[in-house]
Amino acid sequence: MQNSKLTIITVTYNQEKFIEKTLQGFISQKTNFPFEVLIGDDASSDKTAEIIYTYSKTYPNIIKPILRKTNLGVYNNSIELLKNIKSKYVALCDGDDYWTDPLKLQKQVDFLDSHSDYSICFCYAKAFFEDKSHPDYIIPDPKIKNPNSIDYIQTCSVMYRWRFNDKEKIEDYFTKDLYPPDWYMHFFHSQKGKVGFIPEVMAAYRINSGGIWQYQLNNNKYQFYINKCEDMINSYQIIIDKHNANKIYYTCRQACQLRKLLFACIKLKEYKKLKDVIRKYLKLKPTLLILFPFSIIEILARKILKLK
């Protein structure tokens, strides 16, 4: 088999209910170029690895499994896969998501082949809740006229013109302390070119209780903010300090995350956390507090004055 033009990256852990549909979406792709699937199972305790192994025997030129014997964790499992990429293009799809259009890869490769100044191409994705607790919706919102931004990318819909190589090692950029990690993969590739968008639904994003992002955000957003906003503030600081991110723009984004965190503390009556966060950022980065509108400062001040 000739060298693959495109690599699909998939990480799995205990997804026996979903992985077969994911794999079917891969092998159903109709392309005029060779592609491969690097799939890393992180020592699942269910039948996920068994299902992957069966598919790899049936489609040995496409499915290239790495079945871990011990659990590495999401980051280590992912980075070991990503370090093995040799192709020109890369698509991502988690083990509980899937593709709905057999021409998805062909359409995105055709776009990137014909637009050399673009480094990313993505499409619409249908989001649906596994437990049917919420109605389906489309990402990004079709009402958005020009969604050519990394903020609108659903990971299972994206394709990159892969930037990493022996000179730019992915482990020097894509570090464990970046959160959410998939957004930073979009960010690093956007540094190399424009973001392209194909206005067709070609992927499906499954939201289930095992998800670490959207499910938690939908079910308890204030607790999610308390748990994760500081991680996002710290991650923005990393790309400001190390990766030439626009300081003004990403400082404003830090301020937005801090606002969410402080309001979540108020909403959940986590007053000790509220005081600790304000003291921390007054010392470390008071600019984030100064960026708040006066009305927000006033609300926080009143709350703080009532605290003992």
pLDDT tens, residue by residue, 218-269:
668 899 999 999 999 999 999 999 999 999 889 888 988 998 999 999 999 9
pLDDT for res 214: 58
pLDDT for res 307: 42
Pairing of strands 137-139, 35-41: unpaired
Which amino acid does the sequence have at 163? R
Which sign does the torsion angle of CA 120, 225, 82, 207 carry? negative
CB 260 within 8 A of CB 253: no
Q: Does the structure show a pLDDT above 70 at 215?
A: no
Measured in degrees and rounded to the nearest 5, phi and psi for residue 214 equal -65, -40
Least confident of 55-64, 197-206, 214-223: 214-223
In order, the DSSP letters of 43-110 are --SSSHHHHHHHHHHHSTTTEEEEE-SS---HHHHHHHHHTT--SSEEEE--TT-EE--TTHHHHHHH
Residue 297 host element (H or E): helix 294-306
Which amino acid does the sequence have at 161? R
- State mean pLDDT over 36-49: 98
Measured in degrees and rounded to the nearest 5, phi and psi for residue 125 equal -130, 140
Global pTM exceeds 0.85: yes
- State mean pLDDT over 183-203: 97
Q: Does the structure show a pLDDT above 60 at 211?
A: no
Percentage of the chain lying above the pLDDT 70 cut: 89
pLDDT for res 308: 32
- State mean pLDDT over 288-292: 67
CB 112 within 8 A of CB 161: yes
Go through the chain and tell me how many residues it has. Answer: 308
Percentage of the chain lying above the pLDDT 90 cut: 77
> What single DSSP character describes residue 133?
-
3-class SS of residue 243: coil
Residue 276 host element (H or E): helix 271-284
For 268, the token pair is 């959940």
CB 259 within 8 A of CB 292: yes
> What single DSSP character describes residue 142?
T
Q: Domains of the chain (ranges plus CATH)?
A: 6-207 (3.90.550.10), 220-306 (no CATH)
Which sign does the torsion angle of CA 65, 189, 94, 230 carry? positive
- State mean pLDDT over 29-46: 98
